[in-house]
Chains A and B, each alone.
Chain A
Amino acid sequence: MTDSDLDRSYTALCESMAELGPQRTQLFLSMVCLSLMARHERADDVIALIGNVAAQCHAEGQPQNP
């Protein structure tokens, strides 16, 4: 993906999410994630990516409640 393609996709994701509202974020992102995963070539890449994201989240600790 080029930089500008990434921009476009990012914006589309945010705008769709905002339109649906915070209550439906989890379901929306789950569906987008699963749909993209099902189209990715290699499971090993996906699983490694999941691991990296999980590690980063663990390192950051629990979010503070507003």
Chain B
Amino acid sequence: MAALSPEVPVLIAGGGPVGLTLAALLARQGIRSLVAEADEGYCSGSRAICISRRSQEILGWAGAGPALAAKSLPWTGGRSYWRGTEVLHFQMPSEPTQRFAPMVNIQQYHVEQFVDQALQGVPGLATVSWSSRVADVRPSASGVEAHVDTPQGRQTVRAGWLVACDGGRSTVRDKLGLQLEGTQYEGRYVIVDIRQKTRRPVERLAWFDPPSNPGSTLLMHRQPDDVWRIDYQIRDDEDPAEAVKPQNVLPRVQSHLAMIGEDEPWEPLWISIYNAKCLTLPAYRHGRVFFAGDAAHLVPIFGVRGLNSGLDDAGNLAWKLARVIEGRAPDTLLDSYSVERVHATRENLAYGAKSTEFMAPPNFAFKLMREAALRLAVNDPAVRPLINPRQSSPIQYLGSPLNLPQQGEWTSEQAAPGAPAPESLLQGPGGPFHLTQAFGKDLLCLVFGDGALPEAVARLPEHGVGVLDIPAEADPLGQARQRYGLPDPGATALVLVRPDGYVMGRWRGLDPASLLAALQNHGLTA
């Protein structure tokens, strides 16, 4: 193995899915990075499975889109059972004009592999060094010196910036003397991956107090390669060390498979145990050091926002870091990473806590009311929303310093500044395409016009802002106009979308003067 590059603009500690994706997004912006991953290769076992619509978009920017689409299993709904009765059948909002399924299932090691393979397409820009553990970090005002343990011994890397993507037990966090803050839930879940063929459709399945495992809660998710992921809660008085032993796990699994009529031969692949955590650093930027993914926050598994929020962290940080490195934005732009993503984490934690209150009730009161809700749900649809796992959606950056003021009248808040820019199915000269396909690299001005582009708008690229003209004929379903809040088909507007696919500002009319003034105020130059 070659020695590590001694100097690099960005050092990424941790080559899991978040670290690798960040490297890919930086490469897309033309920024070189080095990823130091302690393990020899991709993760093993059962980790993140559910990839949200937004994460599919981000992984597309990273170059892993086609591989992910080919391998992953889309799903749109699920069923919940209490004892022997189905008490909930939910469908996530999804329509045929969407670009991605609301959720797809795939093993984390496949995600890592796909992003790593994409990185191999940009060797000059992204290097992944395996068996390389960041052991110590010395940040300063002008950069970070890192000591990395490799098979060749300890090497020193000087980086302009360090991003800690080194997971729940982050070494970088430890070396900086930082602590995650928050709480943990007592309820423990055993995770089991098994290989077994099935004819069941791909759905999220949940059982409360099933005859196969009385008193327990059990979840099943289908993964590629004929794999089931099974999570079940152990009793409060069970010893976790005993609970993961195969002789205590396999009979419970067999009992449940028999109950639900899955009788194909099966083999266990992985067993581990976890408890839900609601933890975060109070800030994700410390000078030249950033924290992303599990190194920054640990959210309960039931909200399905662990890896998904980590990928959102990478999406948020990459364009900002690139701009600052290139001198196209002031250093303060990077403060907004922490403001926005800490806000997002707090929303995700609140959301995850709600899911956890139902999946692992933290005290007698939640336990009692869950018993009430499950029983009522048999006959009473009014209480079924309590059982619905409430799926993931990207967080709106309320109060972000990057949100520009809105100007004019709008008929929808879906595309307000700080909101993820809504999807639309559009019609171009080459056929139909999705609006979000245009996101992910530069600032982009969506133009809702009524004819030829005004010259000032056509010259926006000189200021580093791309232009996407969406005349009425390109918007035949009217989705864009409706979702972006234009009151009628003849209304005109400019909407500025950030490279991470979030709305930055919107203005009625077609005069970009306010847009340009706002960019100037923020120091965002071409």
Residues of A within 8 A of B (CB): 26-27, 30-31, 33-35, 38-39
* Closest chain B CB from A62 CB (angstroms): 15
Cα-based distance from A38 to B372 in the complex (angstroms): 12
* Closest chain B CB from A55 CB (angstroms): 17
| Shortest Cβ distance from B375 into A: residue | A31
Cα-based distance from A30 to B372 in the complex (angstroms): 6
- Tell me which residues across on chain B come within 8 A of A35, comparing CB atoms: 376, 380, 382-383
Sample 16 A-B pairs with CB under 8 A, ordered by A number: A26-B368, A27-B368, A27-B371, A27-B372, A30-B368, A30-B369, A30-B371, A31-B375, A31-B376, A34-B369, A34-B383, A35-B376, A35-B382, A35-B383, A38-B380, A39-B382
Asked whether, in the complex, the Cβ of A38 is within 8 Å of the Cβ of B382, the reply is: yes
Give the contacts of B363-416 with A (CB-CB under 8 A): 368-369, 371-373, 375-376, 380, 382-383
Cα-based distance from A47 to B382 in the complex (angstroms): 18
| Shortest Cβ distance from B382 into A: residue | A38
| Shortest Cβ distance from A33 into B: residue | B372
Residues of B within 8 A of A (CB): 368-369, 371-373, 375-376, 380, 382-383
Question: Which of A26, A33, A35: most chain B Cβ within 10 A?
Answer: A35
| Shortest Cβ distance from A39 into B: residue | B382
| Shortest Cβ distance from A38 into B: residue | B382
Cα-based distance from A35 to B375 in the complex (angstroms): 11
| Shortest Cβ distance from B383 into A: residue | A38
- Tell me which residues across on chain A come within 8 A of B369, comparing CB atoms: 30, 34
* Closest chain B CB from A23 CB (angstroms): 13
Asked whether, in the complex, the Cβ of B372 is within 8 Å of the Cβ of A31, the reply is: yes
- Tell me which residues across on chain A come within 8 A of B376, comparing CB atoms: 31, 34-35
* Closest chain A CB from B367 CB (angstroms): 10
| Shortest Cβ distance from A29 into B: residue | B372
Cα-based distance from A27 to B376 in the complex (angstroms): 11
| Shortest Cβ distance from A34 into B: residue | B372
User: Told that A34-B372, A34-B373 touch, could you supply 5 new A-B pairs with CB distance under 8 A?
Assistant: A27-B371, A30-B369, A31-B375, A34-B383, A35-B383
| Shortest Cβ distance from A30 into B: residue | B372
* Closest chain B CB from A27 CB (angstroms): 6
Cα-based distance from A31 to B373 in the complex (angstroms): 7
- Tell me which residues across on chain A come within 8 A of B371, comparing CB atoms: 27, 30
Cα-based distance from A26 to B373 in the complex (angstroms): 13
- Tell me which residues across on chain A come within 8 A of B383, comparing CB atoms: 34-35, 38
| Shortest Cβ distance from B374 into A: residue | A31
- The 10 lowest CB-CB distance pairs between A and B, nearest first, are A30-B372, A38-B382, A31-B372, A34-B372, A38-B383, A30-B368, A31-B376, A35-B376, A30-B369, A34-B383
- Tell me which residues across on chain A come within 8 A of B380, comparing CB atoms: 35, 38
Cα-based distance from A34 to B382 in the complex (angstroms): 10
* Closest chain A CB from B386 CB (angstroms): 8
Cα-based distance from A35 to B380 in the complex (angstroms): 8
Cα-based distance from A27 to B383 in the complex (angstroms): 15
* Closest chain A CB from B366 CB (angstroms): 11
- Tell me which residues across on chain A come within 8 A of B372, comparing CB atoms: 27, 30-31, 33-34
* Closest chain B CB from A9 CB (angstroms): 18
- Tell me which residues across on chain A come within 8 A of B373, comparing CB atoms: 34
| Shortest Cβ distance from A26 into B: residue | B368
- Tell me which residues across on chain B come within 8 A of A26, comparing CB atoms: 368
Cα-based distance from A35 to B368 in the complex (angstroms): 14
Cα-based distance from A39 to B380 in the complex (angstroms): 11
